[in-house]
Amino acid sequence: MAIPRAELPDLRGRRILICRPEPEATRLADRFRDAGAMVRVLPLIEREPLPETPERRTLILNLDQFSHIITVSPYAARLLLDELDAWWPQIPAGIRWYAVGAATASVLTKHGLSTRAPAQGWTSEALLTLPSLTQVKGQKVLLARGTNGRELIRQTLEARGARVTPLPLYRRFSPDYPPKELSDILGAFAPEAIVALSGETLNNLVALCANSGHNLYDRLLIVPAERVAEQARAAGFKNPCIPGSLADNDIVATVAAQLTGRDGGSGKAK
């Protein structure tokens, strides 16, 4: 449902660059445009499902042997559910389902699965504080994710005695863009705020700046967590900011508040 214009932040004339993967990028861009912003979308991560392998099929068919199943992103959750629909007419009972963040949890709950997610926060660190994941010695955990993801969940649960099996469902890669397109977006468009909601996206943004010769380090940079904010500061970004949540409306509201504060001289990004 569209939010009435009077209830939206005022971003008329503001220039926003969104570096999220699709389809999330376009969805967020629509929310910014509803608030009057000028928006360009430049995904710095693309995702591609991995082909099925006999090993993966065996894991899916042995789903009922796992006590805990963790999904690290909405994309991982959707791909896993597609696999389950193909092989399990009825999902086995007795499994505890987990999601890193509310958006991922929403994918699972819409499928009828009772899902545990952090009450506050949307990071791996927050997920690992859940009481049901603190005493897991000898228990089997399936970790649905992409290739080459963060190892914190696996390493922490294994240190707690769990038997963790990664289930890679997709790969991530940095897309190539023509120099003219980059010059138009990074130079002529000159974004005032950039949305980069993962450490990998930030790394690709840093590389893009270095390779294209564009300096974006003084722009407002929206990042998902303090860990990525620290990474951004170390790379030279002066204004990393963490929104109240990763919901689209909260991201839009945070950008509006930060840009207004910078105009008035009273606002400061985290």
Q: Which residues pair with 69 in a beta bridge?
A: 97, 142
Question: Could you give the angle at which helices 226-235 and 199-212 cross, rounded to 10 degrees?
Answer: 20
Whether 77 and 168 share a structural domain: yes
Total domains present in the chain: 2
Domain endpoint, select from 112, 141, 172: 172
Average pLDDT, the chain: 89
Domain-located, residue 215: yes
Domain endpoint, select from 130, 155, 172: 172
Give the C-alpha separation, 64 to 249, whole Å: 38
Whether 155 and 119 share a structural domain: yes
Domain-located, residue 187: yes
Q: Which residues pair with 22 in a beta bridge?
A: none
Whether 23 and 101 share a structural domain: no
Domain-located, residue 270: no
Mean pLDDT of 201-226: 90
Whether 229 and 242 share a structural domain: yes
Domain-located, residue 237: yes
Residue 7 has pLDDT above 80, yes or no: no
Give the C-alpha separation, 246 to 168, whole Å: 24
Whether 68 and 152 share a structural domain: yes
Mean pLDDT of 41-70: 94
Whether 78 and 100 share a structural domain: yes
Give the C-alpha separation, 222 to 3, whole Å: 22
Give the C-alpha separation, 12 to 159, whole Å: 50
Domain containing residue 242: 5-45+175-264
Domain-located, residue 142: yes
Tell me the pLDDT tens digit for each residue of 72-127: 989 999 999 999 988 898 888 899 999 998 889 999 999 999 999 988 778 888 89
Residues 6 or more apart from 146 whose CB is under 8 A from it? Answer: 47, 72, 73, 75, 76, 168, 169, 170, 171, 172
Residue 28 has pLDDT above 90, yes or no: yes
For the chain, give the percent of residues with pLDDT over 70. 94
Confidence (pTM): 0.83
- Residue 178's Cβ-count burial label (10 Å; 0-12, 13-18, 19+) is exposed
Whether 37 and 111 share a structural domain: no
Whether 134 and 22 share a structural domain: no
Whether 76 and 61 share a structural domain: yes
What's the CATH number where 243 sits?
3.40.50.10090
Whether 56 and 164 share a structural domain: yes
Domain-located, residue 269: no
Domain endpoint, select from 172, 202, 235: 172
Q: What's phi and psi for 208, nearest 5 deg?
A: -65, -45
Whether 71 and 153 share a structural domain: yes
Whether 181 and 192 share a structural domain: yes
